[in-house]
Structure 1
């Protein structure tokens, strides 16, 4: 097996971009592609690494070919890796563990942030266990391993973010904090079973303690920042002193205070089930992160969550934690199809997906220690789709992208659309249809086609039927006079990069026939790409 592995998940401008070649790769050509155009070609002489000179800011596909077979990866050159959050996780801090698999995952999937889940001694005493301890759920922790993992993640190009619950106190620490309890209607403290109890996250004495704990963790362990967690409840509560607490407001106060105490830290707050994204989305953190649960169970609801988040996120990246429990109950092939549709829905709407981490593991449970080892098919799927996400970053995640579906498709608009002879095309992600979305950015039009034909529902965490054969779509584009648009199409399960398709002209319209649709296609239209006479064909 031959694999291309970037030496880092993201490169900065001026930094030497290097690709490690694993396996017995024959001599051949290495080529670099930018949005379907070849920008660099080098001879490959069989060495273990190859440098790619002169790559400016942007995202690129990388191919190594010996004339008969091709292997791929992607690289991104960016001023700030924080502009994107391709998020992963680690959970194993046992002494002397192997760290190579984590580094490979960060590099292979181009992760820019890694959540260090449940690394601490206790929820309310992060650093209270010394150098070796068991955590609150009896998992063995070596701080030496945590520090080594932090360094491995950073060397691979990602940020190391320590997990910290923002208002959770265990039974041993509860007597010191029960005066700040969040009480329910029965005057009992809200909690997580009998394992944790919740305090007002904006209580001044709690915040002083919490920020102090985080600061000590940065100093001792070397974290780049923190994943700030909550549980999605309560929304309103009362403290023992009688004050009513608006928890959404308390969360924003907490984030403001943590930012003041740790001005250089990367901060990611968990908006559980979209609560309270409307309040925290514009707060001084580095991403808008949402963990979804019922009733947000369909692919369309995922799209709606991302769309709402974009209204408050500004330039922040959006990450959705959608755990694929399906792998615990369904065959791998059916689960892989569910994961592909989940990623297609998220990527096409401008969000990334927290799913993969450790050494080839995926999340199937909110307690990350109960993760799922990936089968080869899942590993190959993730590799292809994360490469695709990086290579087409500016067509998927750029904050300039706007949804123009309602302004372009249909008989009234008749500007840009795709039709299929044997399938219905719709806008809302209904089962049995092709889900079509049209966006625009920097003068280009981008069409997303997601194949839900043959599915009996649109649940994102459920076994999926095989992809139905719907044949090829036909694109219709209203032309600019004197121009013939360029039409390119990319498929993460196909070649992986944009390829040109033939465009024909008939009066005021141009037409193109797309390759057969599998799970997801991205169609890129440049309406001013080619100047020519009105009767031009190509």
Structure 2
């Protein structure tokens, strides 16, 4: 088997005080040139690199792109350097823990996609008895679990610079444990307990006996297995219910009380609560957790509705990262290339709005179902797509994920404003996700503006979980920028499929305006506009 030509960071994320290191694979004992880029600026260039681990020393906080070149071939990766490991969440998953499992593919995926959080889905013995199965057991749905494998996965994920978050349902007990908790049941109008299928029954998550039990279970799992935190799950219903003693429960309030209780019991743990279909994001986002996570279902079926979910979450958060669980069922119903195009447009929408997607996991899987065991094995083409797009996300982090970024489309674009806009000769531009148009969004970012251009030409609708057609080209775009006295606009652009790092677009001055011609976007193009001091000719000597 031929040796690959490849480059990978040794970790998903680095602190500013530790050396950044990359692992290089160069065939036949050859050498290669390595270039490190930050927002299109070259910050390091090394010649004569050989296979092995290469230390680049500490780097300033930010996102970096890296290019390894040899013999006309180029391999790319990206690196995140962050002083706050909780400021971003690029979330992945594992969902199998059989004895003797090979954990190295998980480590490679964590490094390749820079996944700084991994959800350990359904690792526990039972939902209300997490650690009661001994060293090896079958979970509630008969999947084999070895705690030795769980521990090895935890260590492996952590060694790759990520965090291991154990899955825990916050208000569910199975038939074997239900006798202990039925006095706290959430009841349907007919008096039966709300349930998930016939194997889980739901109770008030804020009931004090349950909350005390639940937090002890989480603490035991932390000390025994080494989890960095927990993914706190719910099912989206009921929203209000009575308990057997006649008390009325506002479940949104109970969820907040539960998050507060878990935080008090586990102050150092990384906590992620699942707002199923946006319920109740408006109440839980300000709670003491480390991300705003929303699992979407109908009516959130369009790209525009995904954008709206993200915007609502960002409006009520405390600057935590926003993560959307958008399961790409399309891989089970369409050919791989049409499904990849759907995934690309989903990522373009979420990334351009400052959110990430829970999608990839294990070593080669994507999520197509809320029961993560039913996942989809991807081929090399899909793996390459994900690597390109996650590299792009990390490399341009400051223009995409900074919590201070704000949408200014309505203040700068359009005829009334006439400050910053883009047009195509043969394609419409819209500030909404409309089929047959280029969806344009302008944001204020540190140092300037970022313009996001999502190409919806050739699409008959904007469903995010449906087969998508190959995008049609809108042709070149004409960017027009109102000038500020004493400055000249600088325009750079990048595209995860066609131009991975920012490159310059020539700018022409036309009176009060400057224009730049941009190549057509594939699915998503990022344009970075800044103002640079104008070069003023020196005043002639008298």
Q: Indicate whether the TM-score tops 0.5.
A: yes
Please name the residue that 1:95 is paired with: 99
* SS of residue paired to 1:516: coil
Q: What is the aligned partner in structure 2 of residue 179 from structure 1?
A: 183
1:115 positional shift: 0.2
Give 1:47 deviation, angstroms: 2.8
CA drift at 1:495 = 2.6
1:476-487 superposed matches below 5 A: 476-487=480-491
Match of 1:18 in 2: 21
The equivalent position to 2:360 in structure 1, one of 350, 353, 356, is: 356
Q: Which residue of 2 aligns with 1:235?
A: 239
Q: Report deviation, 1:137.
A: 0.2
Match of 1:202? 206
Give me the whole-angstrom Cα distance separating, in 2, the residues matched to 1:258 and 1:270.
14
Counterpart position of 1:6: 9
**Which TM-score applies when normalising by structure 2?**
0.97
CA RMSD of aligned residues (A): 1.0
Conservation of the 8 A alpha-carbon contact between 1:118 and 1:135: yes
Residue of structure 2 aligned with 1:494, choices 476, 492, 498: 498
**Shift in Å, 1:54:** 3.9
What is the SS of the residue equivalent to 1:386?
A: helix
Residue correspondence of structure 1 range 19-38 to structure 2 within 5 A: 19-24=22-27, 26-38=30-42
User: Mean alpha-carbon deviation: is it higher for 39-48 or for 271-280?
Assistant: 39-48
Structure 1 position 482, deviation (Å): 2.1
**Residue 23 of structure 1, CA deviation:** 4.7
2: CA distance, partners of 1:79 / 1:54: 12
Alpha-carbon distance in structure 1 between the residues aligned to 2:231 and 2:23: 31
Superposed counterparts of 1:101-500, under 5 Å: 101-500=105-504
2:70 to 47, 66, 70: 66
Partner of 2:540: none
1:438 is paired with a residue whose SS is strand
Distance 1:517 1:140 in 2: 46
Any gaps of 5 or more consecutive residues in structure 2? 538-542
Tell me, in whole angstroms, the C-alpha distance in 2 between the residues paired with 1:172 and 1:27. 61
Conservation of the 8 A alpha-carbon contact between 1:272 and 1:291 = yes
Aligned to 1:56: 60
Residues 431-456 of structure 1 show CA distances to partners (whole Å, capped at 9, x for unaligned) of 11110000002241110000001100
Q: Is the 8 A contact 2:16 2:58 kept in 1?
A: no
Shift of 1:533: 4.9
Q: Choose 15-24 or 516-525, whichever is displaced more.
A: 15-24
Give SS of 2:416's match.
helix
C-alpha contact 1:450 1:521 (8 A) present in aligned 2: yes
- The answer on whether the counterparts of 1:408 and 1:414 sit within 8 Å (CA) in structure 2 is yes
User: What is the rounded CA distance, in whole Å, between the counterparts of 1:337 and 1:156 in structure 2?
Assistant: 29
CA shift for structure 1 position 469 = 1.5
Tell me how far apart the structure 2 counterparts of residues 314 and 216 of structure 1 sit (CA, whole Å): 29
Deviation at residue 530 of structure 1 after TM alignment: 3.7
Moved more, 15-24 or 443-452: 15-24
How far the C-alpha of 1:29 sits from its partner, in A, is 1.4
SS in 2 for 1:81: coil
Q: Is the 8 A contact 2:100 2:149 kept in 1?
A: yes
Secondary structure, counterpart of 2:529 in structure 1: strand
Query: What SS is found at the alignment partner of 2:158?
Result: helix
Deviation of 1:509 (Å): 0.2
For the 8 Å contact 2:64–2:395, the answer to whether it is kept is yes
Please state whether the residue corresponding to 1:440 is helix, strand or coil.
strand
Indicate conservation of the 8 Å contact 1:486/1:530, yes or no.
no
SS at match of 2:490: strand
User: Which is worse superposed, 308-317 or 267-276?
Assistant: 308-317
Q: CA deviation at 1:67?
A: 5.7
**In 2, Cα distance between equivalents of 1:216 and 1:425:** 55
1:403 shift after superposition = 0.2
SS where residue 288 of structure 2 aligns?
Answer: coil
Counterpart in the other structure of 1:80: 84
In 1, Cα distance between equivalents of 2:345 and 2:376: 19
Structure 1 residue 69 displacement after superposition: 2.1
Distance 1:452 1:150, change over 3 A: same
CA contact (8 A) 1:44 1:50 kept: no
Give yes or no for contact 2:398–2:446 (8 Å, CA) kept in 1.
no
Structure 1 alignment gaps of length 5 or more:
none
1:514 corresponds to which of 496, 508, 518? 518
List per-residue Cα deviations over 1:333-359 (Å, max 9, x = no partner). 000000000000000000001000101
CA distance in 1, matches of 2:379, 2:446: 39
* 1:529 pairs with 2:517: no
Deviation at 1:14, TM superposition (A): 1.8
Q: Which moved more, 1:22-31 or 1:481-490?
A: 22-31
CA distance in structure 2 between the aligned counterparts of 1:394 and 1:188, rounded to whole angstroms: 51
What TM-score comes out, normalization by structure 1 length? 0.98
Q: Is the 8 A contact 2:366 2:378 kept in 1?
A: yes
